[in-house]
């Protein structure tokens, strides 16, 4: 199963669109995870149109989009806990790992955005993934996203940047 991890679109306040090569990756993915900060109903609708399946959460700049603050999804034998990671950048890993421990006893992969910095690390025994900003919205210096191949409980993560 191929999963596209994206976050921090910030469309239209900071950027106008997702880069075409990233749109292609999103469209061919079996499932898309968006870790918040769509910025508008139009941005959410655009992602929903591209995605075969979508798990999404609300970010700190999102208007009322009807999205949860946290979501859990099982894909290819791996459980993902998705949250935006809102708060100071210094406490990001603490907040995301705590969300994973609370939602899945720490046995899941945490996916969060907010910092606009791509991350793939292990913190407090939890794998944390941050795709950065799919549009390169400030403070990011370039568009980034992650793709994950998930099979039988194992995952292989690839970082993409423009």
pTM of the model: 0.96
Which residues of the chain, if any, have pLDDT below 70? 106
Instruction: Provide CB contacts within 8 A for 64, sequence distance 6+.
Output: none
Q: What's the pLDDT at 63?
A: 81
- Predicted confidence (pLDDT) per residue in 45-89, tens digit: 999 999 999 999 999 999 889 999 999 999 999 999 999 999 998
**What would be the CATH architecture of the domain defined by 2-161?**
4-Layer Sandwich (3.60)
Q: What's the pLDDT at 55?
A: 98
Is residue 94 helix, strand or coil?
Answer: helix
Evaluate whether 57 touches 70 at the Cβ level (below 8 Å).
Answer: yes
Query: Judging by DSSP bridges, how do beta strands 2-6 and 31-34 pair with one another?
Result: parallel
Q: Where are the domains of the chain?
A: 2-161
């Amino acid at each position: 199963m191929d999963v596209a991890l994206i976050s921090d679109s910030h469309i239209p306040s900071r950027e106008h669109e997702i880069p075409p090569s990233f749109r292609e990756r999103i469209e061919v993915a079996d499932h898309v995870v968006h870790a918040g900060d769509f910025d508008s109903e139009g941005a959410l609708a655009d992602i929903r149109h591209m995605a075969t399946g979508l798990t999404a959460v609300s970010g700190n700049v999102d208007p009322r989009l009807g999205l949860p603050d946290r979501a859990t999804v099982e894909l290819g034998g791996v459980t993902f806990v998705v949250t935006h990671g809102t708060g100071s950048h210094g406490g990001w890993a603490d907040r995301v790992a705590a969300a994973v421990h609370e939602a899945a006893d720490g046995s899941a992969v945490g996916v969060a955005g907010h910092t606009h910095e791509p991350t793939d690390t292990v913190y407090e025994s939890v794998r944390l993934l941050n795709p950065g900003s799919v549009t390169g919205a400030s403070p990011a210096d370039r568009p980034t996203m992650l793709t994950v191949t998930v099979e039988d409980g194992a995952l292989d993560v690839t970082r993409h940047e423009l």
